[in-house]
Chains A and B, each alone.
Chain A
Amino acid sequence: AQRVTQPEKLLSVFKGAPVELKCNYSYSGSPELFWYVQYSRQRLQLLLRHISRESIKGFTADLNKGETSFHLKKPFAQEEDSAMYYCALKSGGSYIPTFGRGTSLIVHP
């Protein structure tokens, strides 16, 4: 069975500090990993996906198959990054993304 673990419920940092939101997964095949974000009073939306290997709003995430991780990173946090972040996993044989429980990121001024 596929599983996504986000160990931190809450991450609190100051503006300008580096941010790393952790995501670990369990799946034996070739996974596809995603980060979704939900800003206050907005709908859940895709932030980035590992296969595109792009930086969105300064965030990057690298798939580490050896450590089965897909941590989300940003070198300098901004107040507008405050949101709920969800890691999601889709296995090759499934059509359905499985979501982690989410991490609330709060960036203080």
Chain B
Amino acid sequence: EAGVAQSPRYKIIEKRQSVAFWCNPISGHATLYWYQQILGQGPKLLIQFQNNGVVDDSQLPKDRFSAERLKGVDSTLKIQPAKLEDSAVYLCASSFAPNTGELFFGEGSRLTVL
């Protein structure tokens, strides 16, 4: 089966610019997660969707980050305006059910903010 797809793989922007990341989960997976992984740290959850509804966005910096999953399949994560500390790998993951703990990850989108 096809895995979680993410794009772009790499993005370099200057601070105060905007960027968007796209994720297509595994077919049939209702739950989608966005994690932020800063160099040397473990993945930190930004937002979790169940179908097209938000389950948890308590750690999403809502003044600059936004995410949507309008049709319950693909998702987009946007940062506007970007800060230097947003430099990280943004990981998308999906799971069949919301509480399995077994997540399937994409390859990630590496963001560098200059």
Query: Using a Cβ cutoff of 8 Å, how many contacts connect chains A and B?
Result: 50
**The one of A34, A43, A95, A101 that contacts B105, using a Cβ cutoff of 8 Å:** A43
Q: Does B64 contact A (CB under 8 A)?
A: no
Q: When the two chains form their complex, are residues A44 and B43 in contact, meaning their CB atoms are under 8 A apart?
A: yes
Residue of A nearest to B47 (CB): A96
Q: Which residues of the other chain, A, contact B40 by a CB distance below 8 angstroms?
A: 9, 101
* Chain A residues with a Cβ closer than 8 Å to the other chain, count: 21
Contact partner, B108, options A32, A43, A88, Cβ 8 Å:
A43
Q: How far is the CA of A73 from the CA of B112 in the complex (A)?
A: 36
- Residues 93-109 of chain A, each 1 if its beta carbon lies under 8 Å from chain B, else 0: 00111111110000000
Q: Are A99 and B42 in contact (CB under 8 A)?
A: yes
Which segment, of B16-24, B71-79, B80-88, B95-103, faces chain A?
Answer: B95-103
Residue in B closest to A9 when the chains form the complex, CB atoms: B40
Check if B25 is an interface residue, CB within 8 A of chain A: no
The interface residues of chain B lying within 8 Å CB-to-CB of A4 are 42
